[in-house]
C-alpha cells in the first residue's frame, strides 16, 4: 500500500505541466537573421508547436519548430532550411472565420 502511494505521488509529480498556449492562431514576430528587424506574422499552434506561419500577404508555409517556452519564444525551420526565432503573443489570439 505504501509503495503504491509513493509510486502514485512520483508519477503525478513527474508528469509535465503542459503547454500554456491553447491550440489556434496567434499574432507573432518573426525575427530576421540580423536580429535587428522583425516581421509581423500569424502562427498556427498545436500542442505547443508552430505548424504553419501566415505572412500578411496571405502566403502560408508549413514549418518545423521546437516547443515554445512559456514566454512564447521558439525556433522554427523554414521550408528553405533556415532557422528563425519567433516570439508569439499569447495575449493576441486570432479569430479567422
The predicted-structure confidence for 70-82, as pLDDT tens digits, reads as follows 899 999 999 999 9
Number of domains in the chain: 1
> pLDDT, tens digit, for every residue of 33-72?
888 889 999 999 999 999 999 999 989 999 999 999 989 9
Quote the CA–CA distance of 96 and 86 in Å, as a whole number.
Answer: 21
CATH of the domain at 42: 2.30.29
Arithmetic mean of pLDDT, 78-95: 90
Alpha carbons 78 and 37: distance in angstroms, whole number: 17
**What are the CA-CA distances from residue 19 to residues 36, 41, 61 (Å)?**
29, 21, 23
Q: Residue ranges of the alpha helices (H) in 2-49?
A: 2-14
Instruction: State which residues form the domain around 62.
Output: 21-94
For residue 9, tell me if it sits in a domain. Answer: no
Whole-angstrom distance, CA of residue 23 vs CA of residue 3: 38
pTM of the model: 0.75
Amino acid at each position: 500500500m505504501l509503495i503504491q502511494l509513493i509510486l502514485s505521488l512520483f508519477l503525478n509529480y513527474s508528469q509535465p505541466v503542459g503547454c500554456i498556449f491553447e491550440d489556434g492562431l496567434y499574432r507573432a514576430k518573426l525575427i530576421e537573421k540580423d536580429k535587428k528587424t522583425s516581421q509581423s506574422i500569424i502562427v498556427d499552434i498545436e500542442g505547443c508547436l508552430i505548424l504553419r506561419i501566415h505572412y500578411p500577404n496571405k502566403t502560408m508555409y508549413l514549418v518545423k519548430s521546437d516547443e515554445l517556452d512559456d514566454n512564447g519564444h521558439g525556433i522554427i525551420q523554414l521550408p528553405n532550411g533556415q532557422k528563425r526565432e519567433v516570439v508569439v503573443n499569447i495575449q493576441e489570439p486570432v479569430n479567422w472565420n
